[in-house]
Amino acid sequence: MKINVYKLVYATFFISLLSYSSFAQVSSQQIDSIVNYAMSKFNVAGCAVAVVIDGEILHEKGYGVKSIKTNEPVDEHTNFAIASNSKAFTTAALAMLVEEGKLSWEDKVKTHIPEFTMYDDYVEENFNIVDLVTHRSGLGLGAGDLMFFPQGSDFTIGDLLSSFQHLKQTSAFRTKWDYDNLLYLVAGELIARLSGMTWEAYVESKIFKPLGMDYSFASFSRIKDMDNLSASHSNETGEIKVIPTFEEMINGAAGGIFSNVNDMSTWMLLQLNQGKYGDGLKKELFTKVNHNKMWTIQTVMPTTSNPRYNTHFSGYGLGWFLSDIKGNMLVEHTGGLPGMLSRVLMIPDLDLGIVVLTNTSNDGAGLFSSVTQTIMDMYLELEDFKWIDKYAAYLASQQSGADAVVDKVWETVANNNQDAVKKDKYLGVYEDVWFGKIEVFMKDKQLWIKSHRSPLLNGPLQYYKDETFAIKWEYQDMNADAFAMFTLGEHGKANGFTMKGISPNIDFSFDFQDLNLKRVD
């Protein structure tokens, strides 16, 4: 799903320059050297890397440890959450259902899910299957993700299907790309209704099993053996710590799969072979027609002039980012969950695939970006651009800038006289139409806030300035601390509040800015 890995990947196009030929071929030893150097530059517990070329696996290896608590080494079969790289499995499942005759790409969602809603009647009636998986809904970036981040909320598929009518339209329908997770969950529900089995069961039985991806699982709860599962880690505070593994949402269609670089190599080979697999490529998971459909731009994205790669276009297909690079097609996706990050990159013209799985956020994004860029450049015969060093410097700069903003907020809070705040006027229960109730109450003489439906969102409410308070959530696995900005009624009592993240680096899934909470008690 997310974590601001997309921002980091796009930074690639701002810091690169024209280069010239230096490498003719790539060896497993060279890849090994690249990854080992990256591990020395980024604060990451472990990772795994695989490269496929010309229909064969050239390199697959684990680096570092599965958990800093056990120090057990990562290997090529160690499972990581692949997060949003699960989306391409969802679109492949839809393609297979198309070929079974159970739906058409142009089918309206309401034909199969009558209770599906949207913010506008026209959009609702015309929203089709392709719209579900191409991030062109007109909703804002990560709209509604707060229902599932952090984990542990009680939202149901019914809540999800009825929520879109309350979410804000930020662009015209089908005109702008804004990344969306919730509509992929709707796609997962669609797959379940049409196939008669859960999304998880469909992916495992119809995709994993025929491909021989025997050690991949469609959700955390379906993992049979935890012995070779990587732990999730975070270095949000600078020091690596183990954090809980992100488990279940309504279904795994947006980011639920756990896999390893050995199985993901099989997946990349299937993609590079246009849906064919097995001895002599005699078997077919999906047709070339639908493969081309998935690898055709559906939503145009802005393209930045890039002399190093000579890129002219970019956009989103069905579960894949698509662009051109030095005259070649580039197909890729990233994924991020708390403590787990991934990147899959393919250049079909070179018959090349690269996958990097990591078990640490935030530095894992720097590692997967720089490693894939470096290996890709070698195959493109570009000179070494020192991507690893550049990404390390970029991340440090980004973190330093964000830390300065956050530190200034908490310094202001610490210097305020919290005891002088008239706390009674803020006490009460407030409600947002899609997120539900949030309560402000007293706890041990401290003003406190908690979500009724997302229990990990609770913490002290501390005065910042004017009618604005800063919240330090008890949940600290991700950077999610927020402001609460109250409005007062005619009698000086709070009648509502809005929210926004404190850090400029807050993950987009914490869409506090989309809440509009009104007093109900």
DSSP state of 355: E
Q: Which residue has the higher pLDDT, 475 or 249?
A: 475
Model confidence band, residue 19 (pLDDT cutoffs 50, 70, 90): very low
Model confidence band, residue 236 (pLDDT cutoffs 50, 70, 90): confident
- The DSSP-derived string for 46-107 is EEEEEEEETTEEEEEEEEEBS-TTT-PBP-TT-BEE-GGGGHHHHHHHHHHHHHTTS--TT-
- pLDDT score at 3: 45
Model confidence band, residue 76 (pLDDT cutoffs 50, 70, 90): very high
Q: How far apart are CA 316 and CA 334, in angstroms?
A: 12
Mean pLDDT for all residues in the chain:
94
* Distance of alpha carbon 180 from the chain centroid: 9
Q: How far apart are CA 244 and CA 232, in angstroms?
A: 6
Model confidence band, residue 9 (pLDDT cutoffs 50, 70, 90): very low
Give tens-digit pLDDT for 455-489.
999 999 999 999 999 999 999 999 899 999 999 99
- pLDDT score at 484: 98
Distances (CA, A) of 159 to 179, 246, 453, 462: 20, 21, 11, 31
Total-model pTM: 0.94
Residue 65 has pLDDT above 60, yes or no: yes
The whole-number average pLDDT for the span 302-323 is: 93
Residue indicated by tokens 């409410």 = 461
Least confident range from 12-16, 255-259, 296-300, 449-453: namely 12-16
* Token representation of residue 125: 């009636």
Model confidence band, residue 4 (pLDDT cutoffs 50, 70, 90): low
* Distance of alpha carbon 88 from the chain centroid: 13
Give the N- to C-terminal CA distance of the chain in Å, as an integer.
36
Give tens-digit pLDDT for 339-354.
999 999 999 999 999 9
**Is residue 233 classed as helix, strand or coil in its secondary structure?**
strand
Give CA angle at 47 (221, 240), nearest 5°. 85
Q: How far apart are CA 137 and CA 52, in angstroms?
A: 35
DSSP state of 229: B
Model confidence band, residue 304 (pLDDT cutoffs 50, 70, 90): confident
Domains of the chain: 5-80+212-399 (3.40.710.10), 416-519 (2.40.128.50)
Peptide bond into 150 cis (omega under 30): yes
* Token representation of residue 145: 């993700």
Residue 15 has pLDDT above 60, yes or no: no
* Token representation of residue 371: 């490693």
Residue indicated by tokens 């000086």 = 492
The whole-number average pLDDT for the span 49-56 is: 98
CB atoms < 10 A from the CB of 99, how many?
15
The whole-number average pLDDT for the span 203-222 is: 97
- pLDDT score at 21: 34
Q: How far apart are CA 262 and CA 254, in angstroms?
A: 22
